[in-house]
Amino acid sequence: MLFLLQNITKKIIINILQTNIKIFIYCYATMVTEIYIARDTLPLVYSSCMFLIPAVYSYCLKYYFYAIFLLITFGISANYWRKATYGFRRNLDLVFSKISFSVFVTTHIYYLYLYSSLYNKSASNTKLPIIYYIISYSNLFFITYFYSLSTYLYKKNNIEWVRYHMLFHLFCNLNISLIIYLKNYRFSI
């Protein structure tokens, strides 16, 4: 009887091991090799396409630096969001988006300062109307607000983060268009 019990136990253990090995092989064969940061990011690909609008606008005004810079921004951003995974594309997007943000915020503040009464006290015709300052600073506020909110919601696994990141893209593009307009405003006076 003891011998029979030992044989049954061995068969059960062997059967369990074989099943576990089959499960392991199946899982390994079908394992996803890429870890997705987020799914359903197609709307962010579309909102990344909005970078083409100020790129064309700056190209038409012959501001080629901005046009090329925005085309690169569009390419890197859309390429990342089409399949948001960890890796080189993500790192490239993170680095280039920060460079792009720094360049455009710096030039935005520079052009606002250039037209301000602090810089140009004698030439009253080059001063911007107050509405441009209101639009500019409220736009910068919305950029930081929507980016912070999208990051917060992403960390909370709330799908609404995509909507706020799209709004972040929208306000970035409005800001870039305003920068190009301000640069053109300077030369049109």
Segment 96-154, tens digit of pLDDT: 999 999 999 888 888 777 766 555 555 555 567 778 888 888 999 999 999 999 999 99
Task: Flag whether pLDDT at 43 surpasses 80.
Answer: yes
Are 9 and 52 found together in one domain? no
Is residue 34 helix, strand or coil?
coil
Q: How far is CA 163 from CA 11, 67, 128, 157, 179, in A?
A: 56, 26, 33, 13, 24
Separation CA 166–CA 78 (nearest Å): 12
Residue 146 vs residue 15, higher pLDDT: 146
Task: Flag whether pLDDT at 32 surpasses 60.
Answer: no
Question: For 156, what's the count of Cα atoms within 13 Å in the CB-facing half-sphere?
Answer: 11
Structure tokens at 60: 């038409």
Residue 28 vs residue 99, higher pLDDT: 99
Q: How confident is the model at residue 38 (pLDDT cuts 50, 70, 90)?
A: low
Mean pLDDT of 13-34: 51
Are 6 and 97 found together in one domain? no
Looking at the 3D structure of the chain, how many domains does it have?
Answer: 2
**The pLDDT of residue 174:** 93
Are 46 and 90 found together in one domain? yes
Are 20 and 42 found together in one domain? no
Residue 114 belongs to domain spanning? 38-188
**The pLDDT of residue 67:** 94
Instruction: Report CA torsion sign: 64, 70, 74, 77.
Output: positive
What is the tens place of the pLDDT at every residue in 47-65?
999 999 999 999 999 999 9
Query: How many other β-carbons are positioned within 10 Å of the β-carbon of residue 32?
Result: 7
Separation CA 136–CA 153 (nearest Å): 26
**The pLDDT of residue 49:** 93
Are 14 and 101 found together in one domain? no
Are 20 and 53 found together in one domain? no
